[in-house]
Structure 1
Amino acid sequence: MYSKIALGNVRKSFKDYAIYFLTLTFAVCIFYCFNSIESQKAVLDMSASQAGYMESINQLLSMVSVFVVFILGGLILYANNFLIKKRKKELGVYMTLGMGKSKISKILVLETFIVGILSLVVGLGVGILLSQGLSVFTAKLFEVGMTQFRFVISFSAIIKTIIYFGLIFLFVMFFNTIIISKYKLIDLLNASKKSETIKVKNPILSLLIFLVAVIMLITAYGIVLKVGLNEMSSLFNLSIVLGIIGTLGFFYGGAGFLLAMIQRSQNIYLKKLNIFVVRQIHSNINTNFLSVSLICLMLFITIGGLSTGLSMKTSIENGIVAPFDASAYMYVDDEDEIKTMQQVVEKLNFDFKGNEHMFFEAYRLEGISTGDLILPYVTGTLKDQLENGYWNSINAIKISDYNKIQHLLGKDSITLNDHQILVTSNFSKFLEPLKVYLKNNSEIKINGETFEIKNKDVMTDATYNSALADNILTLIVPDKVVSSLEPTMTYMNIQYTAQDKVEAESYFGDYLNSFFEEGSKDGIFLIGYTKQQIYENSRATSTVVLYVGLYLGIVFLLSSAAVLALQQLSEASDSIERYKSLRKIGATQKMINKTIFIQTLIYFALPLVLGMIHAVFGIYVVNKDLTSLYGQSDILVSSIMTMMGIIVIYGGYFLTTYVGYKSIIKNAK
């Protein structure tokens, strides 16, 4: 009997359950997709190292999933609370007819079970379908082919999804039982809105709070533009605090301020049903300012995270500098017996298998710093960093070694006389200041001796493989300049000239990896990667950033849109009598629909617009830092893609809410 009642209630209240069911289905779908990534290895043509990266990504996403479950659990609980609140009168009727609280709880438990099973089945079905597309997406991220297209189902992800969401549904059932046990019949039959209403009646106080909030936000924007993403700076932390408090104040005081301003314009305020619309919006935001503020911040994180995550992938991969098939280096201290790579190779008895190679050393110049050269040509954060000792060391490479590098790359040698040097750098932050320096200076002093700068433009050629352009400033000098100095680093570069390049990649890759896996050999620790390893590492890193950003971004977006939708639908249920009054004074259904559309649109738009403004400044700062490290990024393209995704999900929830709101008001008796 109870099963029939529960099933009948779900059918009868399908419109009420629409947002709840949609949210659950989305949540299950997303959870499955991002936890099924490891199973995609079966259809991807991956190397052993790439498969290892996939396993690491899966482990990280599993940890992120624990955090996601708490977010989704809270969201589902919030949605469930909305349904209980909406059905108070119905539950009161059950009690009036003699049904005990335990039996009512049993019906609710069965309803939760039915909706949970349906959402799990549909969500997993959609998730399994979408995960096939995710396989293609992963193949593109790793730039690998697909061995063959197969329909892949991750049973481990299915089990994990069922377990996690099963626990959430069990908690919801327990929550419903507790809630019902505390309700009194009179409360259920006379269900009325009990909200977190915090009203600001004084328009002057509203204006003051709003203006202070705006000033705080502008100050926060100004600070973050000045200091950038320097988390060690107290000013950076201050900007975060000001941003959060400013957002709260914006919605806390903004509702009253908006009402006061519109009331002053009688032509707008008294036109059609604008009085009703303005007061509804004021009531909604004033009542829910805490949740609206939180949603605004979540949307900021979503927009910023997705936009920068997509562009960061491109930036990281574009920032790779790998002209050689393999490179390795070792730090050298004064007390080390082994000073050069030649000595390293001899001690390790390393065989290059007939592949071309060369060694060179880098020396740190004394008595001269980066700041001495470019400090007059920099401003802002970079100037502060140089003055505080960041990036101040200048390295030197002998011209004879530099020409060996050129020879290995198949380039022509460069000639320097005893009083000439070359200036090289590929570090983005320094390129413009160095260009200005070279334009204004033709000489440089090293240890009291004057040298002519031979090149008029900064030379950006790399001298070894690196995941990013990290040659801060290196001078190519006559050999005699560093003859009395001890090297600080020693390098080797390798080009595969043997016939079997695949075998060479495996040989050198395994050998260089062995230092990370086994530690030093005979007291020697080399840090090195093949070109292929650098690209695979970078793709794995950027894929992790992208997947975590997508995962959390979609969850935050889903949560934000769902909470706003539920709040509006709850408001619709509580405002039925007000809309009945509008009909009595002659308002047509078309006019009422328009008021519903306007207030729903504004309620959805306000947190999104402020979140977008926050994101513009955040994205600008992140993009500036990305550009300084990796070169140009495609932030515009990724931002457009992000906004398209938001329009689909956020806009979908808005339209569903609008239709649901209209239905509640139209069908009210």
Structure 2
Amino acid sequence: MSMMKLAFHNFKTSFKSYLSLIISLSFAILIFYNFQNILSSGVLTSLGESNTRNIEIIIQVITFVLGCFILFFVWYSTNVFLTKRKKEIGIYIFMGLSNQKIGKLYIIETTMIGLVALGLGIGFGVLTTQLFQMIMMAISDISVELVFSFSLQAVLYATVVYAVIYFIFILKGYINIVRSSVLDMVSANKQNEYVKTKFWILFFKSILGIIITGIGYYLAIKEGGIEVMSNVLSAVVFVVAGVYLLFGGLIPLICQQLADHKNFLYRKERNLWLNNIIFRIKKNYRTYAIVSILMLCSVTALATGFAMKNRYEGIVHFRNTYTFQILNSHPGLKEEYKEVIEKESSIAYSSEIALLQLDSDVVESVYQNQYYGILSYSQVQRLAKDSGLEFPFEELKEDEYISVSQLHLMSFITDNTLVTTTINGKEYKEVAETSIPYLGYFQEKLDLYMVSDSQYQELLPLGTLMHCYNYKLSDMNHFETAQDTLKNYGNYDGLVTLDPNSNEIEWIKVLYSLCVFMFMVFVLASGSILFMKLYNDAYDEKERYQILYKIGISKKTLKKAIINELRFTYLAPLFVMSISSYFSVHSLAKLMQTELLSINIISVLFIYLFIYICYRLSVSIYQKNVGIK
């Protein structure tokens, strides 16, 4: 039999074993290709130059993340593939094949798997191009003209990225085979990811894992000033390391301690599966840690998408609080401007406020700006009443202020009590920050501070007083005619018009849909890794279960043992992910200033449902593979 025929025979016999891997890789390639196709199709050009540029940057970042994910996934899958095949490869050596020829056999066989995944990914990617765009735009709630487009550039880019990654790890496997001895190959399936089981090592890793994970959780939810972002990045590192140590130390330690209690071990046939769980953790704890982290990434990705969507809706509402804002150095012109606007359209509400503008030379602040604005507490309170806005603030003390800011996409300061500002040599303490759009557009351009009425009067001589008149149209269909009328009327120092049809931040909605796709990729990958690992482990356990059956243990009892064993395998990563996701989503909610607890719960429940389906399939296939179905 030729090398090609032998490789094809091995490929056919092992195809079911790697079906979940092929599906996951194909799905990742499909998403990767479609992202690249969107960039080259020109479908986004109708959103404007600014939106197109921002969306392209986001997609490039996402494709980089996908490329890193594919790299990890190929690395993991080729390692599992090589370990599973080494025993069989060792037998080939006894048949007279050299290491080099066996390495070539490995290259051919793994190349077949890689080509199938690539072909399915690109093929279905091309077929679903328009459907992908339609789903993406529907999730984003963006109206663009969708056309079927085939981009050879996108195909080549996706193929080259995947092929380079895949070739690197095929070459790594080939070198591994060439340098391996016969004994290494024959016993490889018994050495997979083995870790020593001495009590003191497990205990040390457990304590270290708990401490490191706890530090990560603390940094994730710790409030602070500008250092919050660095805390979050540090939290990611600590949690990843902590999860690894928990699966390598704490969980096997607990299982071993349970196994040492005979009253627990010998009830309900626990001895049939508990010791095997201990051995399985010793072999596969890295896999469980990786799966738990992938699940955590999926929850965080979906939460990020919903946070972006909520912030987008908030920013749109913020910017559309007023249709027109007029600046004039003279007071008492509110009714005059109102009469001009009402020639074209009725007004839903209007308000006015005196804005004290200060130069930067009298203000020392965390965020330096060219101009600063001072607002009077009572005037803002009156404006809020006229415009129908909330005003949930108590009277301010002489050395206190409230920062009136724009609605940021993300905030890097979560504890406002740490912020102070010096005005004309006097230090003021920030007691709150609000993004309620009292001054609409001007909150995006000025650093505004609301102070007590007495302090406002003291600061008046330091700056220039401008009067801001705000109007909201009842019928936005008359926006253009009302705008023209105001411009022709003149008699103002500045005019700001907010076009309700502006789409300059549409790119934020696209980010939401991209996060949904990333959620799907990570969830599918995590389930596939566990499924693939258990599928392969079943062959290693077949002999053990056959012996147990021959010595008189019933199939019913053995099936229960398998169910308990696999249930633990799936639940352990889920449990760690569920706890960790609360802290990651809570941290994200702080940064994005939005409520995400419901999204956290929904995403975790969705993952539980998907993993439950994988678990049920694994139980059925596992029992069949060990011969007790």
TM-score by length of 2: 0.72
1:110-259 alignment runs, 5 A limit: 110-140=108-138, 143-147=141-145, 150-202=147-199, 210=206, 213-214=209-210, 217=213, 220-222=216-218, 224-227=220-223, 231-232=227-228, 243-244=239-240, 246-259=242-255
Cα contact 2:84–2:189 (8 A) shared by 1: no
Q: How big is the shift at 1:270? A: 0.9
Residue in 2 aligned with 1:332? none
Query: Is residue 606 from structure 1 mapped to residue 572 from structure 2 by the alignment?
Result: yes
Q: How big is the shift at 1:275? A: 1.4
Cα contact 2:86–2:189 (8 A) shared by 1: no
Cα contact 2:348–2:473 (8 A) shared by 1: no
Query: Is residue 589 from structure 1 mapped to residue 555 from structure 2 by the alignment?
Result: yes
Q: Which amino acid aligns with 1:258?
A: I
Residue in 1 aligned with 2:75? 77
Q: How big is the shift at 1:540? A: 0.7
Q: Which amino acid aligns with 2:246?
A: F
Residue in 1 aligned with 2:295? 299
- CA distance in structure 2 between the partners assigned to 1:26 and 1:4 by the alignment: 28
Q: How big is the shift at 1:180? A: 2.2
Query: Which residues of structure 1 form unaligned runs of 5+?
Result: 328-356, 363-396, 448-457, 508-526, 628-632
Q: Residues 220 and 13 from structure 1, CA distance in 2 versus in 1: closer, same or farther, beyond 3 angstroms?
A: closer
Q: Which amino acid aligns with 2:507?
A: A
Q: Which amino acid aligns with 1:585?
A: I
Q: Residues 194 and 644 from structure 1, CA distance in 2 versus in 1: closer, same or farther, beyond 3 angstroms?
A: same
- CA distance in structure 1 between the partners assigned to 2:272 and 2:602 by the alignment: 37
Deviations 1:68-117 (A, max 9, x none): 32331232132122222222233233333333333333332222232222
Q: Which amino acid aligns with 2:22?
A: F
Select which of 399, 411, 419 maps to 2:349. Answer: 411
Residue in 2 aligned with 1:373? none
Q: Residues 407 and 239 from structure 1, CA distance in 2 versus in 1: closer, same or farther, beyond 3 angstroms?
A: farther
Q: Which amino acid aligns with 2:560?
A: K
Q: Which amino acid aligns with 1:104?
A: I
- CA distance in structure 2 between the partners assigned to 1:269 and 1:195 by the alignment: 26
- CA distance in structure 2 between the partners assigned to 1:489 and 1:657 by the alignment: 71
- CA distance in structure 1 between the partners assigned to 2:74 and 2:194 by the alignment: 23
Q: How big is the shift at 1:459? A: 8.7
Query: Is residue 578 from structure 1 mapped to residue 576 from structure 2 by the alignment?
Result: no
Residue in 1 aligned with 2:280? 284
Query: Which residues of structure 2 form unaligned runs of 5+?
Result: 342-346, 355-376, 403-422, 425-434, 485-493
Cα contact 1:313–1:542 (8 A) shared by 2: yes
- CA distance in structure 2 between the partners assigned to 1:569 and 1:468 by the alignment: 59
**DSSP-derived class of the 2:537 partner:** helix
Q: Residues 610 and 405 from structure 1, CA distance in 2 versus in 1: closer, same or farther, beyond 3 angstroms?
A: farther
- CA distance in structure 1 between the partners assigned to 2:321 and 2:378 by the alignment: 31
- CA distance in structure 1 between the partners assigned to 2:179 and 2:138 by the alignment: 54
- CA distance in structure 2 between the partners assigned to 1:176 and 1:410 by the alignment: 71
Query: Is residue 564 from structure 1 mapped to residue 515 from structure 2 by the alignment?
Result: no
Q: How big is the shift at 1:558? A: 4.2
- CA distance in structure 2 between the partners assigned to 1:128 and 1:505 by the alignment: 48
1:441-452 alignment runs, 5 A limit: none
- CA distance in structure 2 between the partners assigned to 1:101 and 1:305 by the alignment: 44
- CA distance in structure 2 between the partners assigned to 1:528 and 1:609 by the alignment: 57
- CA distance in structure 1 between the partners assigned to 2:47 and 2:21 by the alignment: 42
**DSSP-derived class of the 1:411 partner:** strand
**DSSP-derived class of the 1:473 partner:** strand
Report percent identity of matched pairs: 20
TM-score by length of 1: 0.68
Deviations 1:608-648 (A, max 9, x none): 22112111122233224433xxxxx5635544553465356
1:266-277 alignment runs, 5 A limit: 266-277=262-273
- CA distance in structure 1 between the partners assigned to 2:242 and 2:383 by the alignment: 42
Deviations 1:241-261 (A, max 9, x none): 654554344323323442255
Select which of 617, 625, 629 maps to 1:664. Answer: 625
Q: Residues 358 and 234 from structure 1, CA distance in 2 versus in 1: closer, same or farther, beyond 3 angstroms?
A: closer
Residue in 2 aligned with 1:520? none
